[in-house]
Amino acid sequence: MSVRSPNPVIASPRVLDLLDHLHGLSTFQEAQITSESYRQKDGFDDLMRDKFIALDQDKCWFVYQLLLSNRSRYVVEAGTSFGVSTIYLSLAVSQNLKSLGLDASQGKIIATENEATKAIRAKEWWNQAGKDVEELIDLRQGDLRETLKTHLPEKIDLLLLDIWCPLALPTLQLVQPNLHSGSVVIIDNIVGSADRYKDLIEYLRDGKNDFRNLTIPYNKGLGMSVYMGKR
């Protein structure tokens, strides 16, 4: 038996190949970026403008699996870039809708990207991934602190925080009124970027905010917080 973790994602060979290809491009680019560049303030946005910085593939598999496990239908993705993780979110929600006998109007992925050029590329990849993926995605281009202010689904099942660290807490606070008891918040690099996530981590661990927190030992840590509020 192979010791390699199996890929849980069900998709056509063409889409699976596309995902492998996009992760390959992202990993190659990231290997060229020094950890110092991540910390620089000046020129950071310029440096990142053509970078995927996609969520690691094993983390994407985990989030996909999680969405299947609770039959999630409404997801917000903070930080979309070229839309790699979004494809996994959309595949899972699409499969949930089918197994629940629901149509595409009864689920949604809200994707957010500030950079116009990235938003354009993301749409191209989603188009290549096919109608099932594309039709569920509501891409909000612009600063998510504005674009997430309105028209959120009443009940959001999962929030993926894959965004620059200082934006993570403001994003959570914007979305929190629409979380329900049992909603999940995923935070990328919660260990690797712990110093820059200080405000977010303090907020999540403050009992009055009603989150239960776990760090999953993926590379640089993946935070998984469950919202227990609104019982």
What residues line the site for ligand SAM (CB under 6 A)?
52-55, 79-82, 84-85, 112-115, 118, 143-144, 162-164, 167
Minimum distance from residue 189 beta carbon to ligand SAM (Å): 9
DSSP three-state, residue 149:
coil
Nearer to ligand SAM, 34 or 105 (CB): 34
Minimum distance from residue 56 beta carbon to ligand SAM (Å): 8
For residues 197 and 193, give the distance between their C-alpha atoms in angstroms, rounded to a whole number.
6
Beta bridge partner(s), residue 137: 109
From 48, 208, 59, select the one nearest 113 (Cα to Cα): 48
Question: Is the CB of residue 183 less than 8 Å from the CB of residue 158?
Answer: yes
Angle at 194 between CA 189 and CA 196, to 5 degrees: 100
For residues 50 and 45, give the distance between their C-alpha atoms in angstroms, rounded to a whole number.
10
Minimum distance from residue 168 beta carbon to ligand SAM (Å): 10
Nearer to ligand SAM, 163 or 200 (CB): 163
Minimum distance from residue 175 beta carbon to ligand SAM (Å): 13
Give the C-alpha distances (Å, rounded to integers) separating 33 from 6, 28, 44.
29, 9, 11
From 122, 119, 121, 170, select the one nearest 144 (Cα to Cα): 170
Minimum distance from residue 211 beta carbon to ligand SAM (Å): 21
Nearer to ligand SAM, 50 or 103 (CB): 50
**Rounded to 5 degrees, what are φ and ψ at 87?**
-60, -40
Minimum distance from residue 163 beta carbon to ligand SAM (Å): 5
